C-alpha cells in the first residue's frame, strides 16, 4: 500500500464520485408514480428508448471483466482469446427475433423474468423454479467477476494489501453501489452507462492509435507475439488457431452467443425497452461494441510488445493475470490519462454488477418468494423484497472475492455459462413452440446440468495446479457416453456447454415423445398467439405498474 499512484487514484476517485451522484439522482429520472413496483424499480418503467437501451445493453453485456480478461487471454493464449469477437458478432442476428417475442409476451402478460414466462407458458412452477435458480446461480459469479476487474485496477494503483485493508476500497465501492441501486433501481445503471461507455470509447480509441505508434507499429507487435508463442512448449497458443482448438473456438463462440441473452440481466435490459422498434435498432447498432472489443483484444498483443508483467496479488502471492491491461495503461500512459482509463474499467464494473443484482433479485422475488413463500405479496412487498435481495446478492459476490481465491470465481463463471445454456429449450425455444412437454424440459435440464458439471469436474488445469473445474474445454478423447468413448485418442477440444446442451435436447425430445404418447397433461398455456407480436401502441397492453 506504500506505492500508491496518487494522480491516478485522485482522478479515479473524482470520476467514481461523479457516477455515485448520478446513481442517487437517477431515482428521479423518468420516474413513474412510484418505485414500489417491480415494473418501475426492476425494469425502469418499461419505457427506455433507443439511446438509453443501447447504452444499458452495452453496459450490461460488455463488462469490466470483458475489458480486463479478453486481452489478458489473448496475452497468454493468443488467437483462442479472440473467440469473443465472432461470439459478439453472431449473437445479435441470433437473438433479434426471440428478443422481440419475449418483449411482446412479457409486456402483455406483465412478466418480469424469464422464469415468469416459463411459468405462464407451461403452467409449471417446478420448471419455473429450476430456471430461476439456474439464473441466480449463473449470475452470482458473474457479479463476482466484476469485482475481479475492479480489484485489478485498484491493485495497479497501489492498493494491494493482503488482509481486509486490501479489500477495503472494494467494500466501500460496493456499499455505495448497493445504496444507490436500492434507491434508484434499474435507472441507476442506465444513467451511469452513459458515462461508462463514453469513457471506454475514448480510452480504447486513444490506446489503439497511440500505443502501436509508440511501440513500433502493428507489424512489430504481431512479430513480437509470434516470437513469444514460438518459445512456449504449449501447442494450444499462438496467433493462429491449430487443428486441436478450432472446434473449441467455434463451439465456444456459438455456445456463448446462444447463452448470452439467456442470462437474466440481458433479458432485464430487453424488457426495460419501450417497444419492439427500440430492440430492432439496438440489435443493429450493438455490433459497434464488437468493433471496440476487437480493438481491445489486440491490447493483449500490445502488452507482449511492451514487456508487461502481471502484478502479484498480495493476498494470494500469485501473479494476477487480470492486471495485464491496467499495468499496460499504467506503464504507457501519463498518470492523468491512466486515471481516466482505470475509472472507465472501474465504472464498467459497477454498471453490469448493478443490472445483474437487480435481475437476480427479480428472479428471487417473483419466482421463489412470491411463488413459494408469500403468494399474496403486494406490489409494494415485492419491490421491498427485491431491494433487499439485491443487497444480499452484492454481499454474496463480495464474500466470494474476499473469502475465496479470485481464480476460483473465474472457474465459477465458466460453470455459470454451461448452466445458463441449459435453459435454452425452456426459455428460447418455447417462444416459438409448445411442442416440448414440461416434464421433457425438466428431464433435459437435469441431464444437461448434471452432465455438464460432471464434464467440468473432470477437466484439469496443469497451469494453475487445479485437478478439477480447470476450464471449459474438453478433449474429445475424454468424452464418455456411459463408459463408451466414441472419439478415443482424439486431442481435439470442444466446449463443454455445447455438448451438455446436445444431451439436454436429446433427452427433452425423447421424454416429450413418451409423455405425448402417454397423453400426460402438459399444463395450461396462459399466453395467446397474438401476445408474441404486441407492440408499444397496442390498445390492449397491460398498464405499467399494475398486476
Output the domain CATH number for residue 142.
Answer: 1.20.1730.10
Residue 481 lies in a domain: no
Note the pLDDT of residue 464.
Answer: 63
Note the pLDDT of residue 108.
Answer: 93
Residue 474 lies in a domain: no
Q: Per-residue b/e over 394-411, b at no fewer than 16 CB within 10 Å?
A: bebbbebbbeeebbebbb
Nearby residues of 452 by Cβ (< 8 Å), 6 or more positions away: 418, 419, 422, 496, 497, 499, 500
Which phi and psi (to 5°) does residue 384 adopt?
Answer: -65, -40
Note the pLDDT of residue 61.
Answer: 78
Helix (H, G, I), strand (E, B) or coil at 435: coil
Residue 426 lies in a domain: no
Note the pLDDT of residue 385.
Answer: 93
pLDDT in tens, 21-74: 888 888 777 666 667 788 889 888 888 988 899 888 887 777 877 788 889 889
Note the pLDDT of residue 20.
Answer: 87
C-alpha cell at 286: 450493438
What is d(CA 158, CA 326) in angstroms, rounded to the nearest whole number? Answer: 11
- Count of structural domains within the chain: 1
pLDDT in tens, 256-311: 999 989 999 999 999 999 999 999 999 988 888 888 888 889 999 999 999 999 88
- Residue 383 is part of which domain span? 6-20+34-413
Nearest residue to 23 via CA among 272, 353, 327 = 353
DSSP classification of residue 265: H
The segments of the chain whose pLDDT lies below 70 read 1-2, 30-34, 161-167, 233-236, 315-316, 404-412, 462-465, 545-547
Nearest residue to 66 via CA among 136, 148, 140, 135 = 148
Residue 446 lies in a domain: no
What is d(CA 214, CA 202) in angstroms, rounded to the nearest whole number? Answer: 18
Q: Per-residue b/e over 251-262, b at no fewer than 16 CB within 10 Å?
A: bbbbbbbbbbbb
C-alpha cell at 12: 479515479
What is d(CA 127, CA 134) in angstroms, rounded to the nearest whole number? Answer: 11
Note the pLDDT of residue 407.
Answer: 60
Nearest residue to 151 via CA among 428, 345, 4, 403 = 345
Residue 255 lies in a domain: yes
Residue 351 lies in a domain: yes
Q: Per-residue b/e over 315-328, b at no fewer than 16 CB within 10 Å?
A: beeeebbbbbbbbb
CB atoms within 10 A of CB 457: 12
What is d(CA 298, CA 132) in angstroms, rounded to the nearest whole number? Answer: 37
Note the pLDDT of residue 500.
Answer: 96
Residue 465 lies in a domain: no
Cell 490519462, residue?
337
Residue 336 lies in a domain: yes
Amino acid at each position: 500500500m506504500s506505492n500508491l499512484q496518487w494522480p491516478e487514484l485522485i482522478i479515479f476517485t473524482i470520476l467514481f464520485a461523479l457516477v455515485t451522484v448520478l446513481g442517487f439522482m437517477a431515482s428521479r429520472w423518468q420516474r413513474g408514480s412510484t418505485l414500489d413496483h417491480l415494473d418501475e424499480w426492476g425494469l425502469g418503467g418499461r419505457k427506455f428508448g433507443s439511446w438509453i437501451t443501447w447504452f444499458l445493453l452495452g453496459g450490461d453485456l460488455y463488462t469490466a471483466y470483458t475489458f480486463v480478461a479478453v486481452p489478458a487471454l489473448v496475452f497468454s493464449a493468443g488467437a483462442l482469446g479472440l473467440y469473443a469477437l465472432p461470439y459478439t458478432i453472431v449473437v445479435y442476428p441470433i437473438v433479434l427475433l426471440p428478443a422481440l417475442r419475449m418483449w411482446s409476451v412479457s409486456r402483455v402478460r406483465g412478466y418480469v423474468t424469464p422464469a415468469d414466462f416459463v411459468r405462464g407458458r407451461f403452467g409449471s412452477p417446478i420448471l419455473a423454479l429450476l430456471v430461476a435458480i439456474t439464473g441466480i446461480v449463473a449470475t452470482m459469479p458473474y457479479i463476482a467477476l466484476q469485482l475481479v476487474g475492479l480489484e485489478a485496477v485498484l491493485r495497479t494503483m497501489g492498493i494491494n494489501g493482503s488482509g481486509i485493508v486490501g479489500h477495503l476500497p472494494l467494500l466501500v465501492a460496493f456499499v455505495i453501489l448497493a445504496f444507490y441501486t436500492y434507491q434508484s433501481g434499474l435507472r441507476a445503471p442506465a444513467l451511469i452507462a452513459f458515462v461508462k461507455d463514453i469513457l471506454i470509447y475514448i480510452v480504447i480509441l486513444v490506446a489503439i492509435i497511440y500505443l502501436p505508434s509508440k511501440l513500433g507499429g502493428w507489424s512489430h507487435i504481431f512479430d513480437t507475439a509470434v516470437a513469444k508463442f514460438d518459445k512456449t512448449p504449449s501447442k494450444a497458443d499462438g496467433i493462429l488457431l491449430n487443428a486441436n482448438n478450432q472446434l473449441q473456438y467455434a463451439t465456444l463462440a456459438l455456445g456463448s452467443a446462444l447463452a448470452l441473452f439467456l442470462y437474466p440481466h440481458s433479458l432485464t435490459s430487453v424488457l426495460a425497452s419501450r417497444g419492439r422498434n427500440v430492440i430492432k435498432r439496438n440489435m443493429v447498432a450493438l455490433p459497434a461494441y464488437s468493433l471496440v472489443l476487437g480493438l481491445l483484444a489486440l491490447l493483449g498483443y500490445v502488452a507482449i510488445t511492451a514487456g508487461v508483467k502481471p502484478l502479484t496479488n498480495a493476498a494470494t502471492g500469485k501473479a494476477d493475470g487480470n492486471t495485464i491491461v491496467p499495468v499496460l495503461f499504467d506503464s504507457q500512459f501519463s498518470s492523468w490519462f491512466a486515471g481516466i482509463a482505470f475509472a472507465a474499467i472501474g465504472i464498467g464494473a459497477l454498471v453490469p454488477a448493478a443490472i445483474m443484482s437487480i435481475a437476480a433479485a427479480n428472479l428471487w422475488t417473483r419466482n421463489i418468494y412470491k411463488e413459494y413463500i408469500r403468494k399474496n405479496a403486494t406490489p409494494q412487498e415485492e419491490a421491498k423484497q427485491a431491494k433487499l435481495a439485491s443487497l444480499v446478492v452484492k454481499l454474496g459476490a463480495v464474500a466470494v472475492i474476499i473469502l475465496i481465491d479470485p481464480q476460483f470465481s473465474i472457474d465459477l463463471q465458466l460453470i455459470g455459462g454451461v448452466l445458463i445454456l441449459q435453459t435454452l429449450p425452456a426459455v428460447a425455444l418455447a417462444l416459438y413452440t409448445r411442442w416440448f412437454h414440461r416434464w421433457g424440459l425438466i428431464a433435459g435440464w437435469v441431464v444437461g446440468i448434471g452432465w455438464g458439471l460432471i464434464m467440468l469436474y473432470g477437466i484439469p488445469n496443469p497451469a494453475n495446479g487445479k485437478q478439477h473445474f480447470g476450464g471449459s474445454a474438453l478433449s474429445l478423447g475424454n468424452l464418455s457416453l456411459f463408459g463408451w468413448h466414441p472419439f478415443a485418442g482424439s486431442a481435439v477440444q470442444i466446449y463443454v456447454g455445447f455438448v451438455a446442451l446436445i444431451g439436454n435436447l436429446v433427452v427433452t425430445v425423447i421424454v416429450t415423445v413418451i409423455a405425448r404418447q402417454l397423453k400426460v397433461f402438459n399444463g395450461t398455456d396462459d399466453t395467446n398467439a397474438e401476445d408474441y407480436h404486441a407492440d408499444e401502441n397496442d390498445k390492449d397492453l397491460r398498464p405499467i405498474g399494475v398486476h
